[in-house]
Structure 1
Amino acid sequence: MRTRYLLPLLAALVLAPTLAGARSVVTDPALPRALPADGPVSVEWTDPAQFSDIRFSNNRWEAQQGSWVAELARHLQQQAARRLPAGQQMEVTITDIQRAGRYEPWMGINYGHVRVMRDIYPPRMTLNVRITGADGQVLAEGERKLSDMSYLQNSTPVDTDNLRFEKRMIDDWLRRELPAPQA
């Protein structure tokens, strides 16, 4: 009788680590650290384990879950490609990300996996940028520090994208960095 329950229990214990590891982890060294070259904008990033969002998180395990670094890089690449004048190239290296909000597990056992949004936890991002003209001449180069201190005032309750604050911050920066040509 006891062996009848023992076999499913052993199977569950063997499969548990496999199922738990099924979610992607941004700090996995086997993952690429750049997007495939696609058009005039190339985006790469340094080791996500060194990003502020993970290093200073109150729940490192939860902070490194998912593919949020690649998702933000893809958004940056697509939006910059739309705004970049014809013939120009843009190279971006993401060196740090602090997503909006923080984990506050001290609020209770049910809050360990909840990212709490407060004014004191704005999204931030540090980038190294290089923009070259069609002739290869460097038009702009340097470090850019992005932040959106009023991210909660500009939010819309219908937007359910987990990275909406960071994406809006990127969009705002691109509008300043690559203004639309005057008609």
Structure 2
Amino acid sequence: MSKFSFRSIFGLALALAATTAAAAGTVSVRYDHPENFTETREVRAFAPMRADSGYLDTLKRYIERQAARELAPGQTLDIVVTDIDRAGSYLPSMGALNPVRIVRDVYPPRLKMHFRLLDSQGRVIREGERKLTDLGFMYDSPGGLSNTDPLRYEKRMVDRWLARGPQSL
């Protein structure tokens, strides 16, 4: 007979899920009119067959997970992203039938947002607009991110912003 019963394992799984949900609930990321983002307009103009908004969901989950780690218990962070321009660009002269994103240092990742950091009582601790840009994105190591992650530059830019800590967002 096993030392752990089904009931204890199920209870542990529920507790873990509740802890994960609580951590995820401390940060919310929303997109304000993603159809107007620089990234969306560029892809629509130069690479319509590459249009895929799936990166938005991936980036949203990443920001929520990473930011939740930086907050003190009871704090909440609400982020509204107003523009994204991913690293690289589609050039009109580079393969019109099968466009490829060209990543060069002149096309850095950019993200514009509005954020509100609240304490456990719902009082605003910090609020503001941020324009994140990583001009040295091609010259840094990927850190813990994979070299094949298509959002590695954007994620690293967000990580740097969050690394300052909640008091310096």
TM-score by length of 1: 0.71
Report whether the alignment pairs 1:100 with 2:79: no
Structure 1 unaligned segments of length 5 or more: list them. 1-35
Of the candidates 59, 65, 72, which is equivalent to residue 59 of structure 2? 72
Higher-Rg member (1/2): 1
Where does residue 46 of structure 1 map in the other structure? 32
Structure 2 unaligned segments of length 5 or more: list them. 1-20
Where does residue 86 of structure 1 map in the other structure? 73
Number of equivalenced pairs: 144
Change (3 A) 1:106 1:171: same
- Equivalent-residue separation in structure 2 for 1:74 and 1:94 (angstroms): 13
SS in 1 for 2:105: coil
Query: 1:144-163 maps to which residues of 2 (within 5 A)?
Result: 144-156=130-142, 159-163=147-151
Which structure 1 residue ranges, 4+ long, deviate > 2 Å from structure 2?
A: 107-110, 155-158, 177-180
- Equivalent-residue separation in structure 2 for 1:137 and 1:56 (angstroms): 39
Change (3 A) 1:158 1:85: closer
Amino acid corresponding to residue 69 of structure 1 in structure 2: L
Where does residue 27 of structure 1 map in the other structure? none
- Equivalent-residue separation in structure 2 for 1:59 and 1:100 (angstroms): 15
- Equivalent-residue separation in structure 1 for 2:154 and 2:112 (angstroms): 12
Question: What is the Cα deviation at residue 108 of structure 1?
Answer: 3.5
Change (3 A) 1:59 1:83: same
Question: What is the Cα deviation at residue 60 of structure 1?
Answer: 4.5
Amino acid corresponding to residue 173 of structure 1 in structure 2: W
Q: Is the 8 A contact 1:95 1:126 kept in 2?
A: yes
Of structures 1 and 2, the one scoring higher in RCO (CA 8 A, sep 6+) is 2
Deviation readout 1:64-84 (Å, 9 max, x if unpaired)? 314001111110000000111
Amino acid corresponding to residue 161 of structure 2 in structure 1: W
